[in-house]
């Protein structure tokens, strides 16, 4: 049975990983990460509303330390703490469309980072507490990392 974190998101959506399955990695969140994932799911509910109520597909969510290393994630990745996810909203548009729609709401939502990655997906990281959010917008592509959306 699926564990609901919010009306439209389950724990499984934020923890399922092909890499974890292939490598035999237990990607069960810590109690602290569970609390963060609940907050992240509620933030993603608001992102869903901003983007016309269209379904969101989480492509990467929580990553335990072992999984984060296996995925080549940064040592300080917010994914490790249940504070970040990568996602797409195909019915809404391209990743850049999602970034541009969410950007004006970053402060209200407590979004620490909003990243347009490789023109394929959006990375969103929240801040706990909300008022500590840096509201940083970045683009990551084959040319590197730049400030703002390209």
- Per-residue pLDDT of 112-122, as tens digits, reads 999 999 999 99
**Mean pLDDT across the chain, nearest whole number?**
96
Question: Does residue 102 belong to any structural domain of this protein?
Answer: yes
CA distance 13 to 9: 7
Question: Does residue 20 belong to any structural domain of this protein?
Answer: yes
- Per-residue pLDDT of 20-72, as tens digits, reads 999 999 999 999 999 999 999 999 999 999 999 999 999 999 999 999 999 99
Question: Does residue 126 belong to any structural domain of this protein?
Answer: yes
Contact at 8 Å (CB) between 113 and 123?
yes
Residue 19 lies in domain? 11-147
pTM of whole model > 0.85? yes
Peptide bond into 107 cis (omega under 30): no
How many structural domains comprise the chain?
Answer: 1
**Which two structure tokens, joined as six digits, stand for 144?**
């590197």
Phi-psi label, residue 113: left if phi above 0, alpha if psi -120 to 50, beta otherwise: beta
């Amino acid at each position: 049975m699926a564990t609901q974190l919010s009306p439209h998101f389950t724990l499984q959506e934020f923890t399922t990983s092909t890499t974890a399955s292939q490598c035999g990695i237990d990607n069960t969140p810590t109690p602290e990460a569970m609390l963060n994932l609940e907050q992240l799911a509620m933030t993603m509910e608001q992102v869903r509303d901003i983007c016309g109520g269209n379904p969101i597909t989480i492509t990467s969510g929580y990553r335990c330390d072992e999984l984060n290393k296996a995925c080549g994630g940064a040592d300080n990745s917010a994914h490790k703490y249940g504070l970040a996810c990568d996602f797409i909203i195909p019915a809404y548009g391209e990743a850049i469309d999602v970034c541009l729609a969410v950007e004006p709401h970053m402060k209200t939502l407590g979004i620490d980072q909003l990243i347009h990655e490789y023109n394929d997906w959006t990375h969103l990281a929240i801040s706990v507490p909300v008022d500590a959010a840096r509201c940083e917008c970045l683009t990551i592509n084959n040319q590197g990392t730049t400030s703002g959306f390209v």
